[in-house]
Structure 1
Amino acid sequence: MRFTGVMNDIMCIRQFASIVNAVARLSKTCVLRITTTHLYLIANEAGIVNSSPGLWAELDQGHFFNVFNMGGVSEENNEIFLEMEPDTLSKTLSSFTSTQTAARFLKIKLTKKHSPCLTLEVELPSLSVHARIVVHDVPVRPLPRRQWSLYQEPEMPQCDASLYLPPLKQLRHVVERMKTQASHITLAGNRRGTLVFSMSTDTVTVSTYFRHLSMPTWDRDDGGRDGEPEELRSATVDIKRLALFLTGEQIGPSKVICNIVEGRLIHMFLLHEDVTLQYFLPAATNVY
């Protein structure tokens, strides 16, 4: 296996760092899947065997990399799957993208030193005539072919309500206030563009309404399968996990879709021109 990628655009380096940081907030471990056309950051639900991914980030390599060379395990299976801790990669990238030490280029290479690593090499500004090259190694673990099926693209759920979210910064403010009072939050939506964020305790119930939201049009008829368009469909999820997803505003998404599968799942779909990020929040039971 071999992989080398070079980024020469500081904005692409910063965007890549933001994506990895968002993934690191949502999962302690993830799999980096490398193909000839895309990079994927994938995380399965902790403690669930053979589950579909709970997080799926898809990056167009042509947007990020000026140079991109890879060779998979074989001609038939021309892919690479590497397990790693995204927080380690995120901290390394953050040190390269600060205002004072913004990298001029970033080279990422799969190497084997004492163990397999992603070796990151950057050129940083220097007061001298000589370039200042900094190298960091991020440990990775290549996954055997038999485990690849655990990290395939998740299927789109058949949802009961699907809406475009308001700006994430606005939602984050709402959720952070509710998080101080409850451990779970209920999201409810309908086919009239209404979305409700609510939480309840023994002493208080708080709800925030968003009305007249736009709704995506899917290729198949899966929104609001039964009932009246005004009927709210809901699912209750862990409020801390939702709050972590909302930090994805740093990626600068053009749109974010919330799909609700009543009583079972909240599916968040963050869209950018060259990046998509899906996050699956399973519904909690017996909360209230």
Structure 2
Amino acid sequence: MRFRAKIVDVACLNHFTRVINTIAKLAKTCTLRLTVDKLYFILTDKVANGGVSMWCELNQGNFFDEFQMEGVAAEHNEIYLELTPENLSRALKTAQNAKTVKIKLTNKHCPCVTVAVELPSLSSSSRIVTHDIPVGVIPRRLWNDFREPSVPDFDVSIYLPVLKTMKSVVERMKNLSNCIVLEANLNGEMNLKIETDLVSVTTHFKGLGNPPWVSEDGSQNSTQDRDPESMAEARIDIRKLLQLLAGQQVNPTKALCNIVSKRIVHFILLHEEVSLQYFIPALA
């Protein structure tokens, strides 16, 4: 089992750092899945128990100048590691002016992801700063616990408003309640609502648009039979929503959410080389 990768391009390094910073805001620990073509950051808190789930997917070719990995076996050419993304984020903070960053799997008293940062120096020799980040190797028998979540059979799918605008609205609302109602319809309308015994506050967004979903068999999603004016809604933990909005550094080119009424809100943030899915379960 071997893994080594190298980033030379400054823009790629900065982009990778922003992705890791976003992951670190969303998960204290997560699973890093390595394949020949992709990296995945996975959080699988049980939604049924009120936890959020996350699935972030990166094409390695868009970030790394060199990328080599050998999985646990020829027929299972993948590696699954448990890590603390904040540790990786801290290591990359030292790499802002780096000439190169090398990341590899090592064994130093315990399995580690070692980040070696080559920094420019006034002398002819470079300075190397090395960070050893302890990781847990996840055995093959547990890999099925980390499959890609399926897109839920949603009632409404809608594009999100500008995330900064949405964040400022939610930040103000969090002082009024611990939960927020997110509702939307197929007319491109979305509302954020706070309802307590003392106050009722609603922010309306219009003209957002609804993504065209086509299932694998080529048919339209079942939402086509739904009344366009009818609102689908879910009441969710406002802190979990704010965590997603406040931690966002990927600057997605597309952001949308799918609502399964009274069950779950599924967020999808897309950038050219990155896709991030985030699931927040509805409160009873």
**Length-normalised TM-score, structure 2:** 0.94
Q: d(CA) in 1 for partners of 2:75 and 2:52?
A: 24
Q: d(CA) in 1 for partners of 2:27 and 2:113?
A: 19
Offset at residue 17 of structure 1 (A): 1.4
Closer, same or farther: CA 27–34 of 1 in aligned 2, 3 Å: same
Offset at residue 249 of structure 1 (A): 3.6
Q: d(CA) in 2 for partners of 1:48 and 1:150?
A: 15
Offset at residue 11 of structure 1 (A): 1.5
Aligned to 1:197: 192
In the alignment, structure 1 residue 94 sits paired with structure 2 residue 93: yes
Q: Give the conservation status (yes or no) of the 8 Å contact 1:52–1:150.
A: no
Offset at residue 227 of structure 1 (A): 4.2
Q: d(CA) in 2 for partners of 1:223 and 1:231?
A: 14
Question: What aligned pairs does 1:24-43 form with structure 2 within 5 A after superposition?
Answer: 24-43=24-43
Alignment RMSD, CA only? 1.8
Q: Work out which of the residue numbers 151, 154, 157 in structure 2 matches 1:159.
A: 154
Q: d(CA) in 2 for partners of 1:211 and 1:181?
A: 24
Q: Give the conservation status (yes or no) of the 8 Å contact 1:236–1:283.
A: yes
The number of aligned residues is: 280
Secondary structure, counterpart of 1:219 in structure 2: coil
Q: d(CA) in 1 for partners of 2:60 and 2:114?
A: 18
Secondary structure, counterpart of 2:16 in structure 1: helix
Q: Work out which of the residue numbers 129, 139, 150 in structure 1 matches 2:124.
A: 129
Q: d(CA) in 2 for partners of 1:263 and 1:18?
A: 33
Q: d(CA) in 1 for partners of 2:224 and 2:238?
A: 27
Q: Give the conservation status (yes or no) of the 8 Å contact 2:51–2:281.
A: no
Unaligned segments of structure 2, at least 5 residues: none
Aligned to 2:176: 181
| Percentage of identical aligned residues | 45
State the AA in 1 paired with 2:212: T
Offset at residue 111 of structure 1 (A): 0.4
In the alignment, structure 1 residue 4 sits paired with structure 2 residue 7: no
Closer, same or farther: CA 28–125 of 1 in aligned 2, 3 Å: same
**Length-normalised TM-score, structure 1:** 0.93
Closer, same or farther: CA 46–95 of 1 in aligned 2, 3 Å: farther
Offset at residue 47 of structure 1 (A): 8.7
Q: Give the conservation status (yes or no) of the 8 Å contact 1:169–1:249.
A: no
Question: What aligned pairs does 1:1-288 form with structure 2 within 5 A after superposition?
Answer: 1-45=1-45, 54-97=53-96, 102-220=97-215, 221-222=220-221, 224=223, 227-285=226-284
Secondary structure, counterpart of 1:129 in structure 2: coil
Offset at residue 247 of structure 1 (A): 2.7
State the AA in 2 paired with 1:187: L
Q: Give the conservation status (yes or no) of the 8 Å contact 2:110–2:134.
A: yes
